[in-house]
């Protein structure tokens, strides 16, 4: 059973990658737990709930639903759910199981962070993107109209249970969205993973179990290492934002309705690669190789009609902007990135324009 340790000042836990682990969730709950609240969406519960419900047969639990969709990732639904938890017997000994994709992981994690000033959350991600990124590392929160994830908290999970078998029925668009995060993992720190993705796209896209397990394990190991070294994103963890600064601008500009998070990140990585080359950080050869590999896992939905100037204006509202300075994660070579600020807006605009065509 591949298991990757995340060791942070707040909490140390394992991210377990194992086919069938959804059927063993009860074994991974905290001891002497009170009422368990499974937080999911109706859609996820309909498709994947049976195995989890079976595992919880002997555990007193309730199932609560969040609305799906990035545009619904707001504070209001959490207040309703917290009230429901109280009415259904929730107290300080309760535990949340976050069962769903990245939006559920972020929202249910935040609910656990603030319910009665904090109760444990077990993350059980059901999309590829959530399995390799959102469920690990304790970032929880919701969006504001002004920007993505602008309210939130670091709330490390009690454990993370990743079942690659659930991905066989994941819609292709959702699957691709997660693959882009895995391409990111390769670019920022895992050259062998990048090489595998560049040369085994057929196996990955047809979801051969060996290929899926390998790319998930590499990505989870990398994320566990990075979060263990820098829980609060003061230093190394910033590399995980490669493509995200641009991507968040695109999501906000399109009111969170047109692109899945991974698709926005895929476009954002293209923009970051152009900027890396324009600023002299990345060779033309590596730039082409990265852009071609992103393309292998495409297509990214078309971006036509989105003005480059609007995206540039959005960048300053990202929460990674500190005292008005936008920090960009730029590629130096495949497997290495650096964080740079103070880049001339003209170059940023040129990178955005190049990536839009
Ligand atoms: N998704 C980026 C991070 O967890 O830091």
Per-residue pLDDT tens digits for 285-332? 999 999 999 999 989 999 888 999 999 998 876 666 667 778 999 999
Q: Which of 102, 137, 248, 269 to mutate to test the pocket of ligand 1 (most atoms within 8 A of CB)?
A: 137
What mean pLDDT, rounded, does the chain reach? 95
CA of 242 to the centre of ligand 1 (A): 10
- Give me the percent of the chain exceeding a pLDDT of 70: 98
The pLDDT of 207-219, averaged and rounded, is: 98
pLDDT band (50, 70, 90) for residue 238: very high
Name all residues whose Cβ lies below 6 A of ligand 1.
133, 137, 139, 233, 237, 240
Ligand 1 atom nearest residue 237's Cα: 5
Determine whether 83 is exposed, middle or buried from the number of CB atoms within 10 Å of its CB (0-12, 13-18, 19+). exposed
Residue range 3-167 forms a domain whose CATH class is: alpha beta
Report the CATH architecture of 172-356.
Answer: Up-down Bundle (1.20)
Residue having the nearest C-alpha atom to atom 2 of ligand 1: 240
Q: Mark out the alpha helices in the chain (DSSP H runs).
A: 42-55, 75-87, 102-114, 128-129, 172-189, 191-199, 201-205, 209-229, 244-253, 261-278, 284-296, 308-315, 345-356
Domain range annotation of the chain: 3-167, 172-356
CA of 88 to the centre of ligand 1 (A): 33
C-alpha distances (whole Å) from 100 to each of 81, 123, 323, 342 are 16, 9, 35, 38
Residue carrying structure tokens 């990757």:
4
pLDDT band (50, 70, 90) for residue 144: confident
State the catalytic residues.
117, 139, 181, 223, 233, 237, 241, 244, 248, 261
Ligand 1 atom nearest residue 136's Cα: 4
Ligand 1 atom nearest residue 133's Cα: 1
Q: Which of 8, 101, 132, 139 to mutate to test the pocket of ligand 1 (most atoms within 8 A of CB)?
A: 139
Q: Mark out the alpha helices in 9-101 (DSSP H runs).
A: 42-55, 75-87
Ligand 1 atom nearest residue 223's Cα: 4
pLDDT band (50, 70, 90) for residue 225: very high
Which residue, among 264, 139, 127, 244, has the nearest Cα to 188 in the 3D structure?
Answer: 244
**According to the model, what pLDDT value does residue 134 have?**
96
Q: Which of 127, 235, 241, 329 to mutate to test the pocket of ligand 1 (most atoms within 8 A of CB)?
A: 241
Ligand 1 atom nearest residue 139's Cα: 4
Residue having the nearest C-alpha atom to atom 4 of ligand 1: 137
Q: How far apart are CA 272 and CA 279, in angstroms?
A: 10
pLDDT band (50, 70, 90) for residue 88: very high
The answer to whether the beta carbons of residues 104 and 136 sit under 8 Å apart is no
Q: How far apart are CA 101 and CA 34, in angstroms?
A: 25
The pLDDT of 211-225, averaged and rounded, is: 98
pLDDT band (50, 70, 90) for residue 266: very high
CA of 328 to the centre of ligand 1 (A): 15
Residue having the nearest C-alpha atom to atom 3 of ligand 1: 240
């Amino acid at each position: 059973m591949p298991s990757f340790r995340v060791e942070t000042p707040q909490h140390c836990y394992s991210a377990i990658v194992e086919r069938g682990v959804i059927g063993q969730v009860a074994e991974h709950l905290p001891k002497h737990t009170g009422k368990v609240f499974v937080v999911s969406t109706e859609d996820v519960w309909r498709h994947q709930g049976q195995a989890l419900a079976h595992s919880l047969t002997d555990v007193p639990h309730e199932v609560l639903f969040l609305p799906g969709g990035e545009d619904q990732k707001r504070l209001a639904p959490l207040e309703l759910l917290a009230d429901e938890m109280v009415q259904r017997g929730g107290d300080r000994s309760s535990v949340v199981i976050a069962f769903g994709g990245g939006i559920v992981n972020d929202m249910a994690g935040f609910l656990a962070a603030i319910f009665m000033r904090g109760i444990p959350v077990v993350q059980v991600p059901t999309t590829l993107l959530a399995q390799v990124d959102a469920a690990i590392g304790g970032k929880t929160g919701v969006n504001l109209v002004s920007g993505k994830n602008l309210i939130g908290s670091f709330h490390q999970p009690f454990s993370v249970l990743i079942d690659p078998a659930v991905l066989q029925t994941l819609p292709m668009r959702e699957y691709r969205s997660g693959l882009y995060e895995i391409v990111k993992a390769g670019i920022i720190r895992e050259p062998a993973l990048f090489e595998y993705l560049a040369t085994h796209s057929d196996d990955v896209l047809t979801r051969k179990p060996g290929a899926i397990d390998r790319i998930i394990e590499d990505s989870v190991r990398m994320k566990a290492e990075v979060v263990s070294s820098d829980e609060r994103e003061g230093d190394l963890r910033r590399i995980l934002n490669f493509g995200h600064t641009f991507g968040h601008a695109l999501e906000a500009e399109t009111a969170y309705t047109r692109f899945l998070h991974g698709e926005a990140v895929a476009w954002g990585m293209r923009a970051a690669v152009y900027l890396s080359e324009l600023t002299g950080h990345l060779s033309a050869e590596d730039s082409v190789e990265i852009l071609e590999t992103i393309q292998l896992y495409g297509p990214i939905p078309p971006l036509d009609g989105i003005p480059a100037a609007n995206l540039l204006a959005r960048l300053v509202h990202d929460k990674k902007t500190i005292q008005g300075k936008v920090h960009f994660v730029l590629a130096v070579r495949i497997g290495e990135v650096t964080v740079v600020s103070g880049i001339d807006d003209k170059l940023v605009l040129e990178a955005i324009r190049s990536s839009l065509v």
